Amino acid sequence: MYVYSARQIRERLQLFQEAFSSPASTVCFAVKSNSSLAILRLLAQSGAGFDIVSGGELERVRRADKAALKRVVFSGAGKQVWEIDAALKAGILLFNVESEAELELLARRAEAAGVRARFALRVNPDVFADTHPYISTGLREHKFGIDIGLARAIYRKAAKSKWLEPAGVSVHIGSQIRTVDPFAAAVKRVADLVLELRRDGHSIHYLDAGGGLGIDYNDRLDRPHFDAAKKVRDYSAAVLRATAGLDAHLLLEPGRFVVAQAGALLTRVLFVKQNGAKTFVITDAAMNDLIRPALYQAHHEILPVVRRGKSQAVVDVVGPVCESGDFFARDREMQRSAPGDLLALLDAGAYGMAQSSNYNTRTRPAEVLVEGDKARLIRRRETLKDLLAGEIL
């Protein structure tokens, strides 16, 4: 099961809210990182807005806190008609538009709904972010955004439509970025574009700086503690320097940084198996429960829930799914395990449950939210009946 700390989620959100308290700003939590309704409600009640990328995520925000729909920005490169219609009806804050074709579709749907659609172009600043290639999004060869050099002409064309309101500019260069320099470079290019657009006669009120601030997945108990507050201060200083004097409402879209280190995946050891020189610790969790190690070669610290002595072993921690890629750690030195032991995979609050699946016809785990000395079930464990309910013979 997944276990989350409500206190840490609130504290991480507050770090952003305090760091960007001087100019007008809204912290829009990236729903894709963790879409559990109870967590979305917790964040909404703490004043967060939301960055969504689908109509399903829009519905999650509506169910978590209907009032928060006014603080939603809708990103994503492939918005469908029904999703645009639902967002227009909900009265969201802003559409982050990623292509000219999407902008034309947005105008048609706004006309059909009889409302004016407020939008920002997501521009591609061609800034390199040193992160995994699957989660880098700010270069010309990526599918996201519009070439920043084409933006002025597109805004000029959009301004002629009475159904479109050019209101902002958006940028997002990737995820799990550990240094602030790429953010500063990207936001500075966007800030310069905002000034050009204003000179062209557009009323640009919003600058969406995106998300992507990374965490330390290697933060072990025997190493210096990850200073989250300093990371956010450094990030805000870079963004605020790049936007100094711009007088724009900043939109920030953190996801991983808010929830990743607030969550852990608990799993039970099924077997310990020796194959030649290799030792495998086989757990009841698998890649369908947490795909990040298989998909991104990501590192998650793994600790025993109960510590027993100091005996260590070098092992592979693997799941029961029928794929060689079903692993959580390879050649990892850790406390010797025995069947029945509980292990905690740390920093699993982001892109864990949100990316889970039913591969191998496996049911998904439960989720629990810890608040003070109380633990509350926020998603019951899935059953085989749940899994098969939608199928027709």
Burial class (CB in 10 A: 0-12, 13-18, 19+), 139: middle
Q: In sequence order, what are the beta bridge partners of 316?
A: 280
Q: Is 322 a catalytic residue?
A: yes
Question: Which parts of 30-80 fold into alpha helices (H)?
Answer: 37-45, 55-64
Question: Phi, psi at residue 4, to the nearest 5°?
Answer: -125, 150
Question: Which parts of 203-288 fold into alpha helices (H)?
Answer: 228-242, 256-259
Using CA atoms of 238, 6, 33, 387 in order, give the dihedral in degrees to the nearest 10. Answer: 180
Cβ atoms of 211 and 171 closer than 8 Å = no
Q: In sequence order, what are the beta bridge partners of 4?
A: 263, 369
Catalytic: which of 322, 389, 392, 393? 322
Question: Which parts of 50-136 fold into alpha helices (H)?
Answer: 55-64, 81-90, 100-113
Q: In sequence order, what are the beta bridge partners of 252?
A: 27, 210
* Pick from 47, 90, 56, 97: nearest CA to 74: 97
- 99: Cβ–Cβ under 8 A, 6 or more apart, which residues? 77, 146
The radius of gyration of the chain's CA atoms, rounded to the nearest angstrom, is 22
Q: How big is the chain, counted in residues?
A: 393
Taking the C-alpha atoms of residue 286 and residue 281, their distance in angstroms, rounded to an integer, is: 12
Burial class (CB in 10 A: 0-12, 13-18, 19+), 316: middle
Task: Specify the residue for token string 């009841």.
Answer: 284
- 218: Cβ–Cβ under 8 A, 6 or more apart, which residues? 299, 301
* DSSP category for residue 139: S
- 305: Cβ–Cβ under 8 A, 6 or more apart, which residues? 266, 341, 342, 343, 344
Cβ atoms of 231 and 195 closer than 8 Å = no
Helix (H, G, I), strand (E, B) or coil at 250: strand
- The catalytic residues are 322
